[in-house]
Amino acid sequence: MAYSDVYEGWKNDPEGFWMKAAEAIDWVEKPTKALFDENAPLYEWFSDGMVNTCYNAVDRHVEAGNGDRVAIIYDSPITGRKDKISYAELQTRVASLAGALRQQGVETGDRVIIYMPMVPQALEAMLACSRLGAIHSVVFGGFAANELAVRIDDAKPKAIIAASCGLEPGRVVDYKPLLDGAIDQARHKPDFCIILQREEMPAELTQGRDHDWYEVQNDVEPAECVPVRGDHPVYVLYTSGTTGAPKGVVRPTGGHLVALNWTMKNIYNVDPGDVFWAASDVGWVVGHSYICYAPLIHGNTTIVFEGKPIGTPDAGAFWRVIAEHKVSVMFTAPTAFRAIRKEDPEGEHVRRHDLAHFRTLFLAGERCDPDTLLWAEAQLGVPVIDHWWQTETGWAIAANPIGIEHLPVKPGSPTLPMPGYDIRILDEEGQEVDRPGTIGAVVAKLPLPPSCLPTLWQADDRFRQAYLSRYPGYYLTGDAGYVDEDGYVFIMSRIDDIINVAGHRLSTGGMEEVLAGHPAVAECAVLGVADTLKGELPMGFVVLKSGVTKSEAEVMKELVAKVRDEIGPVAAFKLVAVVKRLPKTRSGKILRGTMKKIADDAAWNMPATIDDPTILDEIAEALRGLGYARKHGSA
């Protein structure tokens, strides 16, 4: 079948399309219909079906006689540990952990925060929650205590499951002070914590609150899978919004199961039993969808890799894992390939490994520059597929669905919209652009397909305001881009203040809030400047209050430390300059866009509304001090 037939098939009968896809899921009670639009423009899918996510991801494979198949391969080049967990073992472990959670009082609908590194127990914790119908919220380990506290206060978890530490190359990340600090800071207190003790840095457990991962499971009754409604949230995942307050993206159970399962064959072209590897982190949506849920729901083997593309121990780590574990399909972010290319431009490491099983590389998480895509293709000799999606959707909005048809690749484009997504490009007035190739806001006509967020966690108004109000009838992706004459989508930038640093989504607004909280700072601006490795890097400009006695160097050092302490190391905030003034329009709006263009040495025009053009020369000078805007002012 051709892609166009499948896409048209969906367009002609969207509900029929998804009801058919839903047949691949084991329901306790089948849904009576696909779309529930009574609350439009808030939509739900498969609401009245009864189903359990963990059953579909684990138990059904055991019942089908595939209990011996490897579910999870753990490979940790940092510790040297490797492990294989079969579906049958996974079922035993997850049922036991779920039993312990239940014994401690966790019930269907309760929230559980998971704060864990890349160990298989992170997946077990997610699955144990979904087994009970408890709603998990995984928090990325590179976030600081403050970010964890904000999520605790929003999700109000009954329990937190954490590890004693995470491992970064050359550094053990002690989770316990972060966990304790977050619980201290938060207004809401969890009833209890479960701590996985890791030998690299065991934690001292807090009496009366913390339980050891293994001890809490002693003699518990294994828990069965609890059926929930199709519209019951399986998880809430917080992602950057335009302020420091992250948005709690709700993932509904039924749509999540149906859509993810559909993607495994149709987009990634894998069959049950194939080894599928997403080199990301469980703290991000890629980790939720493609390290944990989709491969398991579809009966694949997934890999939990506790390492990096370079430095663990070298730029051959990915090829070693692909060869050793016979990976068919890999998924990662372009930044990982830029890092590998920098260390091994000729691909010498690639040739040291037998990649005979490897079929396709998928990239997502940030714009994929054509150079990186072509380099990866040349080195690996397999198709390299860029695809575009976001936390809000949980799966690809645009992709090259090689399980349906391998469409011609246009480097720089994530190819064509997937069934379920009716993508349009709108101008400022909300009109569709009249010519292919015209840049505008990328939107999707409502309703969004299954798995996409029906709302934000306990914040319907914020959901409407952030995504639905700008262009009624459409979902605002937040991305700007265009569609070419062949219908190929090109995603170029964001229309808000979100930046993408090494595939990690961060809010410059959130960083500005942190800088503004420093007593010496009068005003500030943070922008994302282009970076050849990480795609973008945050850069801060601060104006100091008069009368500040500390040296500028001292303040800058404190600001870097403050962002690391309050947001986390993952913000990678290291570039900051003290300036006398910030460039603004006459109405007082900071000209961040112009500053960014100067930093990136991109073409720019003097904004007609600028208050004082000479400030831009001062900004360019500060940028040159940081190694940017080298061409500014040169003839």
Phi-psi region of 601 (alpha: psi -120 to 50; beta: other; left: phi over 0): left
Is the Cβ of residue 232 or residue 504 nearer to ligand COA in the bound state? Answer: 504
Q: Is 365 in the site for ligand COA (CB under 6 A)?
A: yes
In angstroms, the CA 591 to CA 583 distance is 6
Please choose which of ligand COA, ligand AMP, none residue 73 contacts, taking the beta carbon within 5 to 8 angstroms, the exact cut-off set by kind. none
Q: What strands, in cross-sheet order, belong to the sheet with 489-494? A: 423-426, 440-445, 474-483, 489-494
Please choose which of ligand COA, ligand AMP, none residue 387 contacts, taking the beta carbon within 5 to 8 angstroms, the exact cut-off set by kind. ligand AMP
What tokens were used for 444? 């999707």
Is the Cβ of residue 143 or residue 471 nearer to ligand COA in the bound state? Answer: 143
Contacts with ligand COA, 280-299, as mask; x by CB under 6 A: xx--x-x-------------
Helices (H) and strands (E) in the chain, counts: 19, 31
Contacts with ligand COA, 49-88, as mask; x by CB under 6 A: ----------------------------------------
**Three-state DSSP class for 350?**
helix
> Residues 176, 298, 505, 632: which binds ligand AMP (CB under 6 A)?
505
Per-residue CA distances from 424 to 120, 210, 480 (Å): 40, 50, 11
Asked if 396 and 264 count as a contact pair (C-beta separation under 8 A), the reply is no
> Residues 120, 157, 166, 244: which binds ligand COA (CB under 6 A)?
166
Antiparallel, parallel or unpaired: β 575-578 and 44-45:
unpaired
Q: Is 502 in the site for ligand COA (CB under 6 A)?
A: yes
Binding to ligand COA (CB under 6 A) within 516-575 occurs at 569-570, 572
Is the Cβ of residue 169 or residue 370 nearer to ligand AMP in the bound state? Answer: 370
Is the Cβ of residue 21 or residue 303 nearer to ligand COA in the bound state? Answer: 303
Q: How far is the CB of 491 from ligand AMP (least distance, A)?
A: 4
Q: How far is the CB of 447 from ligand COA (least distance, A)?
A: 26
The DSSP element (H or E) to which 480 belongs, if any, is strand 474-483
Q: Is 508 in the site for ligand AMP (CB under 6 A)?
A: no
Q: How far is the CB of 300 from ligand AMP (least distance, A)?
A: 21
Q: What is the 3-state secondary structure (H, E, C) of 249-296?
A: EEEEHHHHHHHHHHHHHHCCCCCCCCEEEECCCCCCHHHHHHHHHHHH
Is the Cβ of residue 201 or residue 459 nearer to ligand COA in the bound state? Answer: 201
Contacts with ligand COA, 456-495, as mask; x by CB under 6 A: ----------------------------------------
Is the Cβ of residue 159 or residue 336 nearer to ligand AMP in the bound state? Answer: 336
Please choose which of ligand AMP, ligand COA, none residue 569 contacts, taking the beta carbon within 5 to 8 angstroms, the exact cut-off set by kind. ligand COA
The DSSP element (H or E) to which 113 belongs, if any, is strand 111-115
Cβ contacts of 433 within 8 Å, gap of 6 or more: 425, 426, 427, 439, 440, 482
In angstroms, the CA 540 to CA 528 distance is 9
In angstroms, the CA 564 to CA 134 distance is 32
Report the candidate in 568, 430, 574, 543 with the shortest Cα–Cα distance to residue 150.
568
Is the Cβ of residue 395 or residue 628 nearer to ligand AMP in the bound state? Answer: 395
Is the Cβ of residue 196 or residue 409 nearer to ligand AMP in the bound state? Answer: 409
> Residues 263, 280, 360, 500: which binds ligand AMP (CB under 6 A)?
500
Neighbours of 245 (CB within 10 A): 18
Please choose which of ligand AMP, ligand COA, none residue 570 contacts, taking the beta carbon within 5 to 8 angstroms, the exact cut-off set by kind. ligand COA
Cβ contacts of 120 within 8 Å, gap of 6 or more: 72, 74, 83, 85, 304
Is the Cβ of residue 94 or residue 291 nearer to ligand COA in the bound state? Answer: 291
Stretch that binds ligand AMP, among 45-53, 81-89, 154-162, 473-481 (CB under 6 A): 473-481
Identify the DSSP state of 106: -
Q: What are phi and psi of 332, to 5 degrees?
A: -155, -170
Per-residue CA distances from 169 to 95, 313, 322, 342 (Å): 33, 9, 21, 18
Is the Cβ of residue 62 or residue 148 nearer to ligand COA in the bound state? Answer: 148
Is the Cβ of residue 422 or residue 479 nearer to ligand AMP in the bound state? Answer: 479
Q: What are phi and psi of 280, to 5 degrees?
A: -140, -145
Q: What is the 3-state secondary structure (H, E, C) of 74-90?
A: EEECCCCEEEEEEHHHH
Rg (CA), the chain: 24
Report the candidate in 495, 467, 497 with the shortest Cα–Cα distance to residue 480.
495
Binding to ligand COA (CB under 6 A) within 307-346 occurs at 308-310, 333, 335-336, 339
Largest CA distance in the chain: 77
Contacts with ligand AMP, 352-391, as mask; x by CB under 6 A: ------------xxxxx-----------------xxxxxx
Binding to ligand COA (CB under 6 A) within 132-151 occurs at 141-142
Antiparallel, parallel or unpaired: β 398-399 and 416-417:
antiparallel
The DSSP element (H or E) to which 531 belongs, if any, is strand 521-531
> Residues 233, 252, 287, 414: which binds ligand AMP (CB under 6 A)?
414
Q: How far is the CB of 386 from ligand AMP (least distance, A)?
A: 5
Is the Cβ of residue 21 or residue 279 nearer to ligand COA in the bound state? Answer: 279
Please, what is the angle between helix 334-343 and helix 370-380, to 10°?
A: 70
Please choose which of ligand AMP, ligand COA, none residue 500 contacts, taking the beta carbon within 5 to 8 angstroms, the exact cut-off set by kind. ligand AMP
**Three-state DSSP class for 93?**
helix
Q: Which residues bind ligand COA (CB under 6 A)?
A: 117, 141-142, 166, 168, 173, 280-281, 284, 286, 308-310, 333, 335-336, 339, 365, 502-503, 569-570, 572
Q: Which residues bind ligand AMP (CB under 6 A)?
A: 239, 285, 364-368, 386-391, 414, 477-479, 491, 494, 500, 505
